[in-house]
A = this chain, B = another copy of it.
Amino acid sequence: MRISVQESPFDLGKETAGFSAGRKDMGALVTFTGVVRDLPGDPLQALEIEHYPGMTEAALTEIAEQAMARFSLGDALVIHRYGRLVPGEMIMMVATAAPHRNDAFDGAEFLMDYLKSRAPFWKREITATGADWVASKAEDEAALDRW
């Protein structure tokens, strides 16, 4: 299990290839990668991500440990960036390894759902017309109910 909260970019290809590599007991690997999207209408100049150093790592570790236990994962990876990002840049990724595919998929979706609403990150969108904090979505909170 590895958690990384970092300002610098990560190498998706390298992280994916290196994740759980060489293990012969995990039949299923899932990755999710979040990318900064351009906004239709009012083009995004940058996305600024603020976080709570100390708590962020602890919260992500707790979420990942829950996912590992609940879905019998053999391994889990969470990388989340902070700072200023431009459209097309990768914000974060998670990866899960499990003997069977349903657990790998469920584990990755669980990580994403909890990370969205329970890890202390806040996004601000910078466009030509101003800067706005991204509002949380009721559907993101509701997504936790399925687990």
Contacts and interface: CB of A to CB of B under 8 A. Distances in A.
State the number of copies, please: 2
Nearest to A95: B31
Nearest to A88: B24
Contacts of A28: 32-35
A12 B17 contact: yes
A38 interface: yes
B11 A17 contact: yes
A145 to B, nearest CB: 14
B30 A31 contact: yes
9 contacts: A23-B35, A25-B37, A26-B35, A27-B34, A29-B33, A29-B35, A30-B31, A32-B101, A105-B109
